[in-house]
Amino acid sequence: MKKLLVVGLLLVWAAPASADVYVDAVGDLHDGTGGGADFSGFTHLDIAGMEVTNDLTNINFKFDIVGDILATDWGKYMIIMDSIPGGDPVGNGWGRPISMDSGADYWVGSWVDSGDGAETYHWDGGAWVLDNATWSPPSDISVSDKTQFTVTLTTTLSSLGLSVGDSFAFDAFSSGGGGGDGAVDSLNNASPQILDWGDQSSAAEPYSMYTVIPEPASLALLALGGLAMLRRRR
């Protein structure tokens, strides 16, 4: 029994944090061919992928970006979510020309300039409501990590109406600082999402999906419990 316990504890300790990884094309910003804007030099707006993780309290969205977001720091990074029936099929929390045809319920917007910051919104059936903002503490959401090529947003599950076992559909975008700037890149779309700054676009389908998991440590402890029971049966 003691040996099994030790093995079980080592498994808990060695278990890597699991992450759901989403991959986007690199170099998929419109280059101006045939008109519109040439975004191709804005590699800090080129999303390479995203990793999503959660524990029992928080959910983390880590954007992987092709270009250096420290050297060029005006990028805006956003997430649109459909987690419950209904929602807004035409807009989002920031009033950007970005939508989700299935009906958006939550919106996360962030910026890596001006000292970094982020906000969460929910659709209340008639309007978008700001729930959390880093500029108005206490805030559930934060820019929890930023490196040359990543920005990680952490917020509470409850701020997005989520509990363990819930699934939601989402897309993630990059954009510029203008209030009318659209989705220059979409995580879900391997082709250029828009041709010019102000173009309207919808979250690309098929949507990315994420299911809120029980804490990995809890799973490991459950496995440990199973081992102990097997041992007892013998």
Q: Under the rule (CB under 5 A), what is the footprint of Ca ion?
A: 24, 28, 46-47, 185-186, 189
Pick the closer one to Ca ion by CB: 49 or 87: 49
Whole-angstrom distance, CA of residue 11 vs CA of residue 14:
5
Q: How far is CA 40 from the centre of its chain?
A: 23
State both tokens at 126. Answer: 């008639």
Residue showing the smallest CB distance to Ca ion in the complex: 24
Whole-angstrom distance, CA of residue 45 vs CA of residue 65:
7
Instruction: For the CB of residue 233, give the shortest distance to Ca ion in the complex, in Å.
Output: 52
Instruction: For the CB of residue 108, give the shortest distance to Ca ion in the complex, in Å.
Output: 18
Instruction: For the CB of residue 174, give the shortest distance to Ca ion in the complex, in Å.
Output: 8
Residue identified by tokens 């949507």 is: 207
Pick the closer one to Ca ion by CB: 27 or 177: 27
Question: Do you find a cis peptide bond into 206, omega within 30 degrees of 0?
Answer: yes
Instruction: For the CB of residue 3, give the shortest distance to Ca ion in the complex, in Å.
Output: 49
The CA-to-CA distance between both ends of the chain, in Å, stands at: 11
Residue identified by tokens 């999402």 is: 193
Pick the closer one to Ca ion by CB: 46 or 119: 46
Instruction: For the CB of residue 76, give the shortest distance to Ca ion in the complex, in Å.
Output: 15
Pick the closer one to Ca ion by CB: 22 or 128: 22
What is the number of residues in the chain? 234
Pick the closer one to Ca ion by CB: 152 or 189: 189
Question: Do you find a cis peptide bond into 138, omega within 30 degrees of 0?
Answer: yes
CB atoms within 10 A of CB 221: 15
